[in-house]
């Protein structure tokens, strides 16, 4: 199985300075996060927004990286890990950008996939927005890239403690973690995007 995705290369047709892959959350789709493109203001970068492999149970257009319903919790996660890993490894051939110049980012369930799969690949950096750690996702010998964690203090879907736990776990492994809290709920706001933009520029440079 391969992932369908939206791709936005630089308008000048030059080889991109870097590549940013952004993963949507549970029940959303690639178009839901593709609107973020204009706010990044990184015209020399290529942006890719993949659709998760599974249909969302409660919507005809929503997608899921795995099931989050209590009776099927984490069903499909192992398959999604492999599919996303293969997808990321294939991007250099199609974009001309190596993993070492690629930033993987994600929101909510997409943030959890970012931490999980991104911790096992030689990616330039990880951006986790309102995400969380899967159980046993990160091993002590993982070589994890610089990571930006951002979370809303009023998040009613993924509690703020999930961000704190991710930060402490990564720090205990010696990972360079940049951490920000925002006075917001379970959403991506403009402040987050500004911080993410600066992190991407700094990481790729």
- For residue 187, what pLDDT is reported? 96
CA-CA distance, 81 to 88, in Å (whole number)? Answer: 11
pLDDT > 90 in the chain, percent: 85
Is residue 175 very low, low, confident or very high in pLDDT (cuts 50, 70, 90)? very high
CA-CA distance, 60 to 52, in Å (whole number)? Answer: 13
Which of these, 159, 107, 147, lies nearest to 131 by C-alpha position? 107
- For residue 13, what pLDDT is reported? 79
CA atoms lying within 13 Å on the CB side of residue 53: 18
Average pLDDT over residues 155-159: 97
Which of these, 188, 197, 199, 190, lies nearest to 23 by C-alpha position? 188
Residue 151 has pLDDT above 80, yes or no: yes
Q: Which pair of structure tokens corresponds to residue 11? A: 């308008």
**Please, what is the average pLDDT of the chain?**
94
Residue 152 has pLDDT above 80, yes or no: yes
User: How far lies 110's CA from each of 87, 117, 140, in Å?
Assistant: 15, 10, 22
Query: What are the pLDDT digits (tens) for 10-58?
Result: 988 788 999 999 999 999 999 999 999 999 999 999 999 999 999 998 8
**Number of C-beta neighbours around residue 5 at 10 A:** 14
Ramachandran assignment for 31, one of left (phi > 0), alpha (psi -120 to 50 degrees), beta (any other): alpha
Using the 8-state DSSP alphabet, how is residue 108 labeled?
A: T
Per the DSSP assignment, residues forming a β-bridge with 64 are: 54
């Amino acid at each position: 199985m391969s992932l369908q995705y939206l791709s936005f290369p630089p308008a000048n047709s030059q080889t991109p300075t870097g590549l940013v892959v952004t993963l949507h959350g549970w029940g959303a789709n690639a178009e839901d996060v593709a609107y973020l493109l204009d706010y990044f203001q990184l015209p020399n970068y290529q942006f890719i927004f993949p659709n998760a492999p599974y249909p969302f149970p409660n919507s005809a257009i929503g997608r899921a990286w795995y099931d989050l319903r209590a009776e099927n919790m984490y069903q499909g996660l192992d398959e999604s890990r492999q599919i996303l890993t293969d997808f990321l490894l294939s991007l250099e051939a199609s974009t001309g950008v190596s993993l070492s110049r690629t930033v993987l980012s994600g929101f909510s369930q997409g943030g959890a996939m970012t931490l999980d799969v991104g911790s096992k690949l030689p990616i330039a950096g990880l951006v986790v927005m309102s995400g969380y750690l899967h159980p046993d996702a990160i091993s002590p010998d993982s070589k994890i890239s610089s990571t930006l964690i951002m979370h809303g203090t009023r998040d009613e879907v993924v509690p703020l403690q999930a961000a704190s736990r991710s930060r402490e776990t990564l720090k205990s492994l010696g990972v360079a973690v940049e951490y920000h809290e925002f006075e917001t709920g379970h959403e991506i706001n403009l402040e987050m995007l500004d911080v993410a933009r600066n992190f991407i520029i700094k990481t790729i440079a």
